[in-house]
Chains A and B, each alone.
Chain A
Amino acid sequence: MSAYATSVLAIMGINIMLAVSLNMITGFCGQFSLGHAAFYGAGAYGAAFFAAAGAPLPLALAAGIIVAGLLGLVVGFAALRLRADFLAVTTIGVSFLFVGFVRKQPWLGAEMGISRIPASGLGSEGNTLLIIACALVTVVASLYVDRSWMGFAFRAVGDDEETARTIAIPVSRYKLVAFTLGTAIAGLAGGLYAYFTQFIVPDSFGFILSVALMAMVVIGGTGSTLGVVAAAILLTLLPEIFRFINEYRLLIFGGLLVLVMRFAPGGLAGLAQALALRLRKS
């Protein structure tokens, strides 16, 4: 495989992990989060910090997962107290707070980021294979959760919290589980990214990435794992295929969001469903 193909595949795998994990929080459990990039960044910084200090790969990745998951748990507690609109704005705040905090920390490299991340020892193709494998596991786990009792509880919480509580679903616990699980996966993606680029800066984890991840979820179809995977692949590949797009990347991205929300709020999954329904009728 060419170096270019391996790097595109790696980014695609990371985006799939991020979008699918965000979909667990937002799509399954109905907790609208616009701060997912912060957890991804926390994972990347956690892993990079330990890797630069000499920790081996599994330990550094675990550190990333734990840092991100703990941060997710804290934000999850905020989610218990706040109504939906307040939560959306609070998670936006988390996104800005993370970048603003990291940017001023000398021990995290401040503006310059962490650049002395040792190689993973797997080679660039090995890195990509590891990322793709993690992405596949994430997708399978997401499909499994969706069919499990936990997935049912998540949806009950997302659909109608009060009713869920009436049928004795412990709403708070499931919200915390959704946040911790989703953000821990984002942390793993961050750790993998740190090893993949060997160089991280605060601006890679800013708010616009949080928006892009949310865009993958809603364009794919909120709550549909496969739809979200399709959207993550599509939104990663489009700028690569159409190079001329790059100059107008944000313009097209924004326009796409407006059009999808305006004309197909169910996203790709909603369109596929409508198409299947029509085929069955005819």
Chain B
Amino acid sequence: MYYVDLAFNGLVFGCMYALMAVGLTLVYGLLRILHIAHAAVYAFGAYVAVIVANATGGIVFGVIAAMAAAAVLGIVIYRFLYEPLLSYPPYIPMIASIGLLVFMEDGFRIAFGEQGLTFARNPYPTQLHEFLGLTVNTVQIAIVIAATVCLLLLASFTTRTRIGIGWRATVSDPRIAESFGVDAIKVRHLNFAIGSALAGLAGALIGLLNNFVEPTMGFVVSYKALAIIVVGGLGSLRGTLIASLALGLVESYGTIFVGRFLDRDAIAFLFLIAVLIARPRGLAGIKAA
């Protein structure tokens, strides 16, 4: 039963990574930028969630506010940081993005303190349920359900609606999509809004799970999410989802089997490097850039 517990734990983290990585891979697919500051959006979502939830007393309000605020932040980052840098080589926006992450993390520390914040009333992580012999808590279930629902909605949005199809068309060929009347600017705003809202949701849920929100919570997650989109084959949604779940599981089992030699973060990157050596273009491969 122990191994099944590990698998479920891996699934929960895999879902969280997926929520993070989908936004990143969408940004990469559209703009070819490694959007490292995505992790700052994630931490921002967690802070908004904890502050709003404590102010209003409703955790649901907190989560919704986190998604909305993260979406706005994503659009602002695109408008004021990336848009002016699009004509430069890709490492310039990437360095700017790292700078923004470092800046925002230290900003959170100065504004809200080093110790981090906790939810005033959060009974969910300690509500345990027996489920097929597994013991799981409410937040873990919420993470799995939220990730599944959001990703299914996203999938149907990009295949069923006009703007969603325009979005995918822009990702595969911006010039031709534009000549067919797709508004590229609108697509980019939409892209950042949706990707960031998902990151904000992931941040809020992890904040709930740990009942704790701290300034550096996004730091390692950001690089893991980068590793995931690389393993998934930059820009590929399906590859990203597979890689997210695989990383969650590898970490979960890895900490048990090789935890004596490597810490959790190192295991994640060893996995990344091993996959890249075997398949230099990632799991899904990539069309020529």
Contact = CB atoms under 8 A, between A and B. Distances in A.
B84 A262 contact: yes
Given A254-B99, A262-B84, A100 B263 contact: yes
B256 to A, nearest CB: 14
B74 interface: no
A257 B102 contact: yes
B99 A257 contact: yes
A85 B90 contact: yes
A258 B273 contact: no
B106 A84 contact: no
Nearest to B272: A93
B206 interface: no
Q: Give the secondary structure class of A's interface.
A: helix
B208 to A, nearest CB: 26
B277 to A, nearest CB: 7
Interface string B77-95: 0000100110010111111
B280 interface: yes
Interface stretch (A42-50, A64-72, A210-218): A210-218
B34 A100 contact: no
B260 A90 contact: no
Interface size bracket, A side: 35 or more
Interface in B237-289: 260-270, 272-273, 276-277, 280-282, 289
A251 B34 contact: no
A238 interface: no
B223 A86 contact: no
B4 to A, nearest CB: 27
Contacts of B227: 89, 92-93
B90 A84 contact: yes
A103 B267 CA distance: 13
18 contacts: A32-B91, A85-B32, A85-B234, A86-B280, A88-B94, A93-B273, A94-B273, A96-B223, A96-B265, A100-B267, A100-B269, A214-B98, A250-B102, A250-B103, A251-B110, A254-B103, A258-B103, A265-B92
Interface of B: 28, 32, 34, 81, 84-85, 88, 90-96, 98-107, 110, 220, 223, 226-227, 230, 234, 260-270, 272-273, 276-277, 280-282, 289
Q: Which 4 A-B pairs give the minimum distances between C-beta atoms?
A: A100-B266, A257-B99, A254-B103, A254-B102
